[in-house]
Homo-oligomer: A and B are copies of this chain.
Amino acid sequence: MTIKEFEELVLEKLKIVVDQIITENLELPISAKSRAGAEISDWLEEKFVEYTIDNDFFEGSEGAPKGSTKNPWDARTEFVLDGHKEEIWIDFKAFKITSADSNPDIGTPNKIIKLINEGNFYHAFIHVFYEATDNGLKFVKLNDSYSKLYFLKDISSTFRRNPKNQLQVNISAPSEYRTREEFIKLLMDKIKESHQRQIEISNKALKKQDEITEELLKANKKSEDDLTKKIQ
């Protein structure tokens, strides 16, 4: 089996689990007037462990510690094949499909660097889709499927690092196969480009400082005088 075939196999087996979880639990009592990503992830994490307890391909599944807000994975598991165990990290992404578009943060580059340096590589995104209902939310299909999965290594080359130190990509950007080495080089390029842009941005902001300060002081003088008179 080639590496590529191995990767496809992992995603195939993962998708089966996720689709089953969703199909058997189409509605959740989670209020979703705003974005419900964290609550949905919390629920999925628990279910993922439950649904892989007895799975031939996955071993040692764990959800992120309850209440943790900075864990590098939502769930982790080991894919078992011919006695080999390959560490898999999972990041759930829950999209409210009534929104116009979405470009979620997809994690800090730092954790990816650590993951690879520790001898691992596989970080899977699992997209799920929902709509608010009267008493919570329901999962819905997008493009005929309850879930969409790909590995970070095969992410669309339109991904970038943003100023929050998060990688980011559009919800619809199609994944594209590349080798692990190609991904490493691409990732490092993207990080470099982003830092270069940031230096530009900060330099520009610094140049504008004095002008903005003047303007604010002037606007305030006027409005504060006004208020002072009115409340005498």
Contact = CB atoms under 8 A, between A and B. Distances in A.
Q: What's the dominant secondary structure at chain A's contact region?
A: helix
A69 B184 contact: no
B209 A192 contact: yes
Interface in A178-220: 180-181, 184-185, 188, 190-200, 202-203, 205-206, 209, 212-213, 215-217, 219-220
Interface stretch (A19-27, A30-38, A139-147, A169-177): A30-38
Contacts of A163: 163-165
A35 B69 contact: yes
A160 to B, nearest CB: 6
Given A39-B31, A197-B67, A199-B199, A188 B216 contact: yes
A203 B219 CA distance: 30
Among A41, A43, A116, A181: residue with most chain B CB under 10 A: A116
Interface string A43-86: 10000000000000000000001111101000000000111101
Given A33-B67, A164-B164, 19 more contacts: A6-B231, A29-B31, A33-B38, A33-B42, A34-B38, A34-B39, A66-B196, A66-B197, A67-B99, A68-B197, A81-B231, A82-B230, A84-B230, A113-B212, A117-B219, A180-B220, A184-B217, A188-B213, A195-B202
Determine the interface band of chain A, counting residues with CB < 8 A from chain B. 35 or more
A12 interface: no
B200 A68 contact: yes
Given A31-B31, A66-B33, A219 B116 contact: yes
